[in-house]
Structure 1
Amino acid sequence: MQFIDQAKIEVEAGKGGDGIVAFRREKYVPAGGPSGGNGGRGGSVILVASENLQTLLDFRYKRRFVAKNGSRGGPKNKTGASGDDLLIEVPCGTAVYNRESDELIGDLTKPGQTLLVAEGGKGGLGNKYFLSNRNRAPEHALPGLDGEIKTLRLELKLLAEVGIIGLPNAGKSTLISALSAARPKIADYPFTTLIPNLGVVRKPTGDGTVFADIPGLIEGASQGAGLGHDFLRHIERTRLLLHVIDATSEDVVGEYNTIMQELQSYGRELREKTQIIALNKIDAVDKENIDLEALASELNHLSFAPVFIISAVTGEGLQPMLQQIWDTLDALNVKEEEEVIEVLGIGNKEI
């Protein structure tokens, strides 16, 4: 299955049904008066977040969606039937933008969450609506209103708590395969990961946490170089970044600075996200000539983030790193709860 995380679609809500002109024509009912019914409402276009979809691939083949029109009114004051709403399923994590104004219309992050993107037109009024003391036999009605037409841009941003970032060939794919059941492509050349890979890592309590292996970033990624620009958006929703650095590199600190500069250039507070650093591939390091502890200390001093010396291949150092990830996520949960309490003003109240 292809991973498509952007799509452009056009949605058109249904037109409201026309009101009609009609009069009562019944035996023994003289001067029956107007009886033209109103038109029905046009159907609206509604997006629905679904757990069953993981990509926007469907929108590559169908890009125009039209809801049903409302029916015209009927005689004897009958209102026309409303057009059926058109429900369009999208993956959880889809952000919806107005393509013309670039305004964010909504963000669908939870299963079953809905978003009205084009409202159906109102039905026209029948002639019964225009009855008055001055006009006892109105002979005009109103047409239904057109439904909204919008061009939308859909962006899928993966829902993962931990984002694994780093330069190409840092060992990110090997790491996520070691931690979870994910089986991404692994090879000894750069850019083997062309799409984000998701893996569920089990906590000691049995709960699952989603990790996302983000395709390798390079210098200039925030301006479109390499693959990074297309996938930096997937880091936005993560709560914690696991920054993987190749310990066999000739310039470990330089690699760290390259990634941080790209996060800074991209904006959206990516650089401020909580990080844990993994100094990977220690199984391939010449430990007689490279002081891993000194490298870790230098990175810690530079980033103020905990640094772990690991090998995704042999599993060395993975458990202490995972424990730090669980502890950090728990701390972030507590912090977020406290912020909610403070915003709602429900703390420190006397009972």
Structure 2
Amino acid sequence: MQLVKVGLCAFGMSGKVFHAPFLKEHPGFFISAVVERSKEESKEKYPDATIYRSVEEMLKNADIELVVVNTPVQTHYEYTKMALEAGKNIVVEKPFTVNVSEAEELARLAEEKGLFLSVYQNRRFDRDYLQVQKVMNEGKLGAIKEVEIRFDRFRTEPSGKAHKENPEAKGSGSLHDLGSHLVDQAVQYFGFPEKLFADVFSMKGQEFANDYFEIILYYQNDLRVRLKSSVFTKEVHYAYAVHGEKGSFLQERTDNQENELIAGAIPTYGEDWVKPLKEDDGILNFLNENKETERYSTLSDPGNYMNYYQQIYEFIVFGYALPSPAEEIIKNMKIIDAAMESSKEGKIISLV
């Protein structure tokens, strides 16, 4: 099996939870280098990886072909550009960049260099997202008319992370953080919208970056998609509510991969590794061919973030489709930029 040598730009939560475990367990990857500016925490689980004290040092000295840019969003443009200029292929954490212009420049540079650039949109591999996709593809709901996708939390106290909460830091706040997932899911489901209206602000006060947003996406055929997130949500809503001409589907956010990884779970290659759900997590209510109401609970199949890196590997070795390429995620950045503008100006923004 062809071996792809990888360098991680950081070993914080993103590196420890979302990247290193999957790269280690996938037989096609080898973690060759890790950037830790002062600590050496990666040695315990990844003793074969060389520790570097800066991204610059790693790019200059490490024998790697793939770089994972998993640093704060404010550094994504700088480090991704640096790695591309060093001739490395890139996986960059979401959000891609702080704005569209940075994303477009990086995509052009990758194309000029003949390198690939993929954005880590891991929640395309969440069980709940995949279940909604499956139900809509079955056609039982008929033409989709209204959709709401939510990602709520109850985190009323500041986290102390300036790159996420300082309102002066570009790319900080929930819109870029959680919004990058919701926007991506909407675009994957329904394509690029015609226009949008957004309300983005901080419930904790002006001294913090936005922690609430609501975006209404306008599509052809009178479809409306609402994306919403709040950190003052103690009682959870259904994460997905899909309403069509023939019925409705309600889906809870039940993917637990992140929590299991934080707790120390080790993902396995080639099979589902998450714990099965104990209860159904969705409700499907629709009119069948006889126009009779059918209503029953549903149980979603497991998600698996390993599939992202499997697709990266298959692209490298076999030339299959690249997951979430830069050109595709630029569309998401356009929506995020337009949402910021819409909220600031208090008006609908055209996207086409």
Tell me the TM-score normalized by structure 1: 0.27
Tell which has more relative contact order, 1 or 2 (C-alpha 8 A, sep 6+). Answer: 2
Bigger-Rg structure (1/2): 1
Flag the structure with higher helix content: 2
